[in-house]
Amino acid sequence: MQKENVMSRRKALGGIGAGLASAVLPFPVQSLGQAASASPSLEDPVSKYPKPPFERQSQPWPGLAGKMNPRPDHGEKSYKGSNRLKGRKALITGGDSGMGRAAAIAYAREGADVVINYYPTEEPDAQEVISLLKKEGHKIVGIPGDLREESFCTDLVAKAVQALGGLDIVVNNAARQQTRQSIADLTTEDFDATMKTNIYAPFWIIKAALPHLQPGSAIIATTSEQAYDPSPDLYDYAQTKAATMNYVKSLAKQLGPKGIRVNGVAPGPIWTPLQVSGGATQEKLTQFGKQTPFGRPGQPAELASIYVQLAANDASYANGQIYGASGGAGQP
CATH of the domain at 319: 3.40.50.720
| Dihedral sign computed on CA atoms, order 24, 28, 33, 35 | negative
In a domain, 278, yes or no: yes
pLDDT at 62: 95
- For residue 94, pLDDT beyond 80: yes
In a domain, 175, yes or no: yes
In a domain, 291, yes or no: yes
Order of strands, sheet of 322-325, starting from the edge strand that comes earlier in the sequence: 140-144, 113-118, 89-93, 169-172, 218-222, 261-267, 322-325
In a domain, 33, yes or no: no
Q: pLDDT for 199-241, tens place per residue? A: 999 999 999 999 999 999 999 999 999 999 999 999 999 999 9
pLDDT band at 18 (very low <50, low <70, confident <90, very high): very low
Give CA–CA dist 140/79, Å, rounded.
16
Backbone φ and ψ of 222, nearest 5°: -100, 110
In a domain, 141, yes or no: yes
The crossing angle, in degrees rounded to 10, of helices 235-255 and 201-209 is: 20
Q: Which amino acid is at 237?
A: Y
pLDDT band at 260 (very low <50, low <70, confident <90, very high): very high
* pLDDT cut 90: percent of the chain above it: 86
pLDDT at 41: 85
What would the mean pLDDT of 247-261 be, rounded to a whole number?
98
Q: Say if CB 74 and CB 96 are below 8 A apart.
A: no
In a domain, 268, yes or no: yes
Peptide bond into 70 cis (omega under 30): yes
- Catalytically active residues are 237
Range of the domain at 166: 83-325
pLDDT at 72: 98
- For residue 26, pLDDT beyond 50: no
In a domain, 71, yes or no: no
How many domains, the chain? 1
Helices within the chain (DSSP H only): 2-24, 32-37, 98-109, 123-135, 150-164, 188-195, 201-209, 235-255, 273-274, 282-286, 304-311
pLDDT at 329: 79
In a domain, 20, yes or no: no
Mean pLDDT of the chain: 91
Q: Which amino acid is at 137?
A: G
- For residue 271, pLDDT beyond 50: yes
Q: Say if CB 219 and CB 261 are below 8 A apart.
A: yes
